[in-house]
């Protein structure tokens, strides 16, 4: 058998290998029974202006970008995400030795949220205390607005990751 014939035999077997395979997939493990999600405007107990709007918008964009789900109105949706921002805390993580001004500040966002199946009332995910921390460095020119944008985006990304199926 020539090299060309052996090569064509191997090419003929490739579809078999892709079907049989080892089971590994690069697809993210999202629920197959859910097609649409409605995201309610999150509420806020924290006194930071428009934070709930920013997080809701970021969550909707992240769902559209990273999941197979579509955003829909509540009446047409299979599932619903709702929740509230419980608190936002800032803590100084380190001071400058000469000026005693904050060198790095940590901001912690605490959110309560759940993902509910509207067809049967079952909670698909429920998090009474979902915590995310990010930092900013004032001497570099960063401020709370910088960390708020970064923190909200990363928090929305972590919420979508939490929607994945268990391994």
pTM for this entry: 0.77
Ordered structural domains, the chain, with CATH = 30-162 (3.30.160.150)
Residues 153, 120 contacting (CB under 8 angstroms): no
Exposure string over 69-85, b if 16+ CB within 10 A, otherwise e: bebbeeeebbbbbbbbb
The two tokens of residue 66 are 């990273």
pLDDT over 60 (residue 20): no
Residues 71, 39 contacting (CB under 8 angstroms): yes
pLDDT over 90 (residue 23): no
pLDDT in tens, 98-156: 887 777 888 899 999 999 999 999 999 999 999 999 888 877 777 878 888 889 999 99
């Amino acid at each position: 058998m020539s090299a060309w014939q052996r090569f064509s035999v191997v090419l003929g077997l490739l579809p078999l290998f892709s079907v049989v395979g080892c089971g590994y997939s690069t697809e993210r493990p999202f629920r197959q029974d859910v097609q649409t999600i409605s995201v309610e405007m999150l509420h806020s107990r924290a006194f930071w202006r428009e934070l709930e709007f920013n997080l809701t918008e970021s969550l909707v964009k992240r769902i559209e970008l990273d999941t197979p789900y579509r955003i829909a109105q509540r009446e047409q949706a299979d599932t619903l995400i709702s929740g509230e921002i419980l608190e936002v805390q800032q803590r100084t993580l380190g001071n400058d030795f000469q000026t005693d001004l904050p060198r790095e500040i940590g901001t912690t966002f605490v959110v309560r949220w759940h993902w509910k199946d509207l067809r049967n009332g079952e909670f698909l995910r429920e998090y009474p205390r979902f915590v995310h921390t990010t930092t900013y460095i004032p001497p570099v020119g960063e401020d709370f607005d910088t960390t708020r944008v970064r923190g909200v985006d990363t928090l929305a990304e972590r919420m979508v990751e939490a929607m994945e199926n268990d391994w």
